[in-house]
Amino acid sequence: MVEPLSLRFYLDLVDETDLGAIDQLLTAAQTHTGPVTPLGAVGVGVAERIAEILVPCGVEVKVLTETPQVQGTELTEKPTAVATYLALHPGVESAKVRDLFWPGDQSRAPDNGITRLRKALGETPAGHKRFPKATKVTLVDVGSDWERFGCLVEAANRTQDPGDVAAYLDAALDLIESVPARRANPVLYSWFIDDRHWYETLDTAVVDAATRRATIALEAGDPIAARHAVRRGQRA
């Protein structure tokens, strides 16, 4: 399981070293004259592994985009925020969810809201509640693009073949649509927006993936692919 993270990213919070690395790669992508090592064919099973990682769950949470979305069921804004939080925080205490989204509310509103969300998320094909009743909640059959990003990067880390690494990183970077949560409701997503540590974690993950992919492209004599990798990383 990928560590749950908040995903909004601000350029002024990026470490100067990371910005320098991106600038250097953009320059190198235009002027690269070093030795060339063409990429070989993608290894047996790599495409299948990528496809396996990208297979959607019954419900999908998208956070690598301007406004978080829940696909596979119809939710209004607040239930979407709650479902997004749960998807990114497996094992969270149910009491914390109530305190975060219904602070100080002693009415039945929190119970009713959670009950409606549980009903909307429904059951897995095997008949299990996707939002089980538990003191510590982990959603079932609910995936996220951020979790898949982490799985693809981890798969890249487990291989040494440049062509295979490039394939995994391409698939990871393709998941980034735009600045995460740029248009999210700041009240419902305060937990998502206001934690600098999460910004820095996102920055590190995305910059590392983009830098590594661009470097592979430069070594393969493909400055266009190098620039493309950096630009995809800058979407976040």
Share of the chain above pLDDT 70, in %: 82
**CA distances from residue 91 to 59, 81, 121 in whole angstroms, order as listed:** 18, 17, 17
Q: How far apart are CA 21 and CA 25, in angstroms?
A: 6
Tell me what pLDDT residue 201 has.
Answer: 78
The residue among 210, 203, 209, 88 whose CA lies nearest residue 145 is 88
Q: Is 172 exposed, middle or buried (0-12, 13-18, 19+ CB in 10 A)?
A: buried
The average pLDDT across 37-53 equals 85
pLDDT tens-place string over residues 127-177: 999 999 999 999 999 999 999 999 999 999 999 999 999 999 999 999 999
Tell me what pLDDT residue 30 has.
Answer: 62
Residues 170 and 53: beta-carbon distance below 8 Å: no
- The region of weakest confidence among 47-61, 115-129, 218-232 is 218-232
Q: How far apart are CA 140 and CA 124, in angstroms?
A: 8
Tell me what pLDDT residue 4 has.
Answer: 35
Report the mean per-residue pLDDT for the chain: 85
pLDDT tens-place string over residues 10-39: 334 444 445 566 666 666 666 666 666 667
Give residue 79's pLDDT band: very low, low, confident or very high (50, 70, 90).
very high
The predicted model scores a pTM of 0.83
Cβ density class 185-210: b for 16+ within 10 Å, e for less: beebbebbbeeeebbeebbebbbebb
pLDDT tens-place string over residues 102-121: 999 999 999 999 999 999 99
Tell me what pLDDT residue 69 has.
Answer: 96
Residues 18 and 200: beta-carbon distance below 8 Å: no
